[in-house]
Amino acid sequence: MNGLRFGIRVRARALALATAAVAGWVSAADAPAPLHLRIVGGLGSLNQFTHHERPFWETELARLSQGRYTAEIVPFDRAGIRSQEVLTLVQLGAVPFAALPVSGGITKDPELTGPDLAGLNPDMASMRRSVAAFRPYLETMMRERYGIEVLALYVYPAQVVYCKKPFSGIKGLAGLRVRTSGPAQSDWVEALGGKPVTTGFGDILPLLERGELDCAITGTMSGNTIGLDKATSHIHPMAISWGLSLFVANGAAWNALPADLQALIRRELPRVEHDIWDESERETADGLACDIGAPTCKAGRPGHMVEVPSSPADERLRREIFASTVLPRWLQRCGPQCAAVWNRTIAHVAGIEAR
């Protein structure tokens, strides 16, 4: 399906739903056989989409259901949809099934960003613990507040710092213009004395090439994929954040699905989720190896970047900035109830309480 036409249809549908309160695109009663689902996926250029989301929906669903159910999927960045719009479109039913980015650009509900705040999870083990602690609350909150079912949680590789010139540890970002993906990363950069520039993934390379950025925070493998190893010279391996997205369904659209299709999705999506998390962990290491041209580089293009080692001082500063700046500012955006939510979920694994 052409992405532009898809986006126009999505927006038109959203307007109609807002005025007519239509439930969704898919219903078991009037859908033709085989029932066909329309899915909005993650970023189209990344392996989460190409290796996992698209094969599952466009190939495996039909095989697993013996042809009873089929689907088509388009990445949100090629569907005329901004990441900030996905939550509203799913809630309205204009987009019945979608990957909802929550770590960066989403602004409607800061509470969703809690498990992946900048500086919280320095490694994949920490990220897994934070998400596991927050997930039961997240699933209940999304159902009760928005009428949305959370069916899976996906993660991208670690978001790290790329710079065009040498810098010594994360303190070296002071005074530099650094691309960030959302408020928490911007808070982290500001606390270091840097100048955050919040922009979409697709704008990173053009802004670097035009000299409007000195550095960028993005994924190790995604940075390699778009050529940041050529546009920048130095990379710091500390995970600033990871990039969490939820795979969600509009509640009415989900409830309208046949029971056997619901069961199939509930049974099979955890496998897709597991594979995406494992690949993201591998890609974090492989992306860094490729960016610096290490012999262990496998999936990416070997580059010639210089790795700036992460020191014990960097690790101490990361935790200090999170506790003193990132968490308090998130609580300001999130509202008074979020301190209690944090303290009964993520605080137990992070070892940092909200006050």
Please state the rounded mean pLDDT for residues 184-191: 97
How many residues are there in the chain? Answer: 355
How many helices and strands, by DSSP H and E, does the chain display? 16, 11
In angstroms, the CA 219 to CA 284 distance is 7
| pLDDT of 246 above 50 | yes
Fold of domain 3-155+244-283: D-Maltodextrin-Binding Protein; domain 2 (3.40.190)
Q: What angle do CA 30, 150, 264 make, to 5 degrees?
A: 55
| pLDDT of 1 above 60 | no
Fold of domain 159-241+297-347: D-Maltodextrin-Binding Protein; domain 2 (3.40.190)
pLDDT at 85: 87
Instruction: Name, in order, each residue with C-beta under 8 angstroms of 113's C-beta and a sequence gap of 6 or more.
Output: 102, 103, 106, 182, 183, 184, 244, 330
Domains 3-155+244-283 and 159-241+297-347 share a fold: yes
Span 248-258, pLDDT tens digits:
999 999 999 99
pLDDT category of residue 104 using cuts at 50, 70 and 90 = low
Position with higher pLDDT, 21 vs 35? 35
In angstroms, the CA 76 to CA 91 distance is 16
Domain map of the chain by residue range? 3-155+244-283, 159-241+297-347
pLDDT category of residue 82 using cuts at 50, 70 and 90 = confident
Span 140-177, pLDDT tens digits:
999 999 999 999 999 999 999 999 999 999 999 999 99
Please state the rounded mean pLDDT for residues 226-246: 95
What type of residue is 335? G
pLDDT at 106: 58
The DSSP element (H or E) to which 162 belongs, if any, is strand 159-163
| pLDDT of 340 above 80 | yes
Position with higher pLDDT, 29 vs 129? 129
Please state the rounded mean pLDDT for residues 49-68: 96
pLDDT at 342: 98
